[in-house]
Amino acid sequence: MTTMTRTNPLADGAGNIADQAAETASNAIRSTQSVANAAFDRLNDKVEVARDHASPAIDRWASQAGTAVRRGVDAVRESSAQLREKAHQVSDATAGRVRDEPLKAVMIAAVAGAVLMGLISLLGRGRDRNAR
């Protein structure tokens, strides 16, 4: 028995069309990948340029912030020295007045102590009432 193989021209044509469609789809995918890669490369280049431009600005801002901090610390140090000097002057002046008028100084201290004790007593009573 002999079998004859027949070829169907329609089937062969459909197979060729399917192969061409698959090849076209592969080409489209490769083309899309190429375009996407090029777009990502351009984006990466732009990010690098932005980073290069931003870096000096950030460095400049950091330097300015450091300068401002140093100025602030210097100002606090100077104010502290001035306050310390003023406190010494007031202390010396107070000691001089106490030496010049000791009775008056004792009377002022007694009045200040009495006022302070009165305030403490009033505050203590308020707490006792709130505790009950």
CA 60 to each of CA 51, 55, 69, 70, 71: distance values in angstroms, whole numbers, following the listed order? 14, 9, 14, 15, 16
d(CA 31, CA 36): 9
Q: How far apart are CA 8 and CA 130, in angstroms?
A: 108
Question: What 8-state DSSP symbol labels residue 127?
Answer: H
Question: Average pLDDT of each block of 10 consecutive residues along the chain (132 residues)?
Answer: 56 73 87 90 89 85 92 94 94 90 91 94 76 60
Residues in contact with 97: Cβ distance below 8 Å, sequence separation at least 6, in sequence order:
105
* CA angle 56–47–32, rounded 5-degree value: 170
Tokens of 71: 């100025």
At 72 the pLDDT is: 94
Residue 58 is predicted with a pLDDT of: 86
* Rg of the chain in Å (alpha carbons): 47
pLDDT at 129: 63
pTM: 0.41
